[in-house]
Structure 1
Amino acid sequence: MNARTEVALLGGGCFWCLEAVFLEVRGVTHVESGYTGGTVAAPTYAQVRAGDTGHAEVVRLEFDPAIISYHDLLEMFFTIHDPTTLNRQGNDVGTQYRSVIYFQSAEQEKVAHKVIAEMANVWDAPIVTELSPAQPYFKAEEEHQRYFERHPLQSYCACVVAAKLEKFYAMHANRLK
């Protein structure tokens, strides 16, 4: 990370989906899948997936705020997952798939509250996205980094991740790299 970048930490279901989308966003300089919000130090994918650690699958984004604002990143986040389903995104069920924003500063918290209020006017059901201060973050195993890019024909990727990417491309073509 350099002096011009900031960090966003977001969970909205399987991290493979979020990672694939944010890798395409102009101004996002680095995307990494990982875990945060739980009680186990250095959790593994198997532990988090089982739902026993309290962690959420998240993406850690480094972005250049001169190119894309935190506000705009959060707006995108709310268009690529369902923030109205508690601990669930499609067939992915459990607290590890919760909708959550881990803010890095008081300013990020303020912006997140603002975007959540704006999104409440867009969605037909109440927003259940958790808003929490950043907690210890653990990078996911290497096999989970750039997963869609390396496994586009894997069934989950071909059906779920690809659909999210298509929706994103249609809604945010002006934000692509």
Structure 2
Amino acid sequence: MNKQWEVATLGGGCFWCVEAVFQQIKGVEQVVSGYSGGTVPGTPTYREVCSGLTGHAEVVQVTFDASVISFEEILIIFFTSHDPTTLNRQGADQGSQYRSVIYYHSEAQKVIAEQVIENAQKYFDDKIVTEVSPLGPFFEAEDYHQDYYKNNPDQGYCSVVISPKISKLRKMHADKLKT
């Protein structure tokens, strides 16, 4: 079977959470934490992004094989792994850097994203506020942010915030998990 590589760029709160979820999914080759959507020049640092002053969101770039998992399926998992109805907030993480966002790489991805949001709305009491915007520059986050959950599973944030997301993922999307 020929692999059909695609990339999705998604922000759903802290990038450690989103990264940990997508690293579990069949067909996902790579997940890279980083920053996108900012308005200031230069390469942003974690400290600058966390200040909320750069306009960047914490995002992940998910490289996946579309012959194994579709962009639509990636988005369905995305919408079940965070709260797309809270503006600039996921749990205790607050600020525009934690916004729910889909940065599309093509017009086809934009159309699919808009359709998935429309279809998903019926499952939420509040309005979905996920931003859908074209991808601008993507900046890879510092090395210590990569594979964060894998490298720090017993760290407090990982235990309290990420582990429950992984448990939910295993219940809701067991058929999509790597073995």
Give TM-score, length-normalised by structure 1.
0.97
How far 1:28 moved relative to its partner? 0.7
Offset from partner CA, 1:30-61 (integer Å, 9 cap, x none): 10000000023210011111111100000000
Gaps (5+ residues) in structure 2? none
What's the counterpart of residue 45 of structure 2?
44
What's the counterpart of residue 63 of structure 1?
64
Offset from partner CA, 1:117-144 (integer Å, 9 cap, x none): 0111111110000000001000000000
Confirm or deny: 8 A CA contact 2:3 2:67 kept in the other structure. Answer: no
What's the counterpart of residue 93 of structure 2?
92
Gaps (5+ residues) in structure 1? none
Confirm or deny: 8 A CA contact 2:34 2:61 kept in the other structure. Answer: yes
How far 1:4 moved relative to its partner? 2.2
What's the counterpart of residue 110 of structure 1?
111
What's the counterpart of residue 148 of structure 1?
149
SS in 2 for 1:148: helix
What's the counterpart of residue 9 of structure 1?
9
SS in 2 for 1:138: strand
SS in 1 for 2:166: helix
| Percentage of matched positions with identical amino acids | 55
Determine the C-alpha separation between the residues in 2 that align with 1:121 and 1:65.
26
Offset from partner CA, 1:45-85 (integer Å, 9 cap, x none): 11111111100000000011000000000000000000000
Flag as ranges the 4+ runs of structure 1 deviating above 6 A: none
Give TM-score, length-normalised by structure 2.
0.96
SS in 2 for 1:121: helix
Determine the C-alpha separation between the residues in 2 that align with 1:3 and 1:82.
31
SS in 1 for 2:123: coil
SS in 1 for 2:120: helix
What's the counterpart of residue 126 of structure 1?
127
What's the counterpart of residue 176 of structure 1?
177
- Superposition RMSD in Å: 1.1
Determine the C-alpha separation between the residues in 1 that align with 2:101 and 2:166.
20
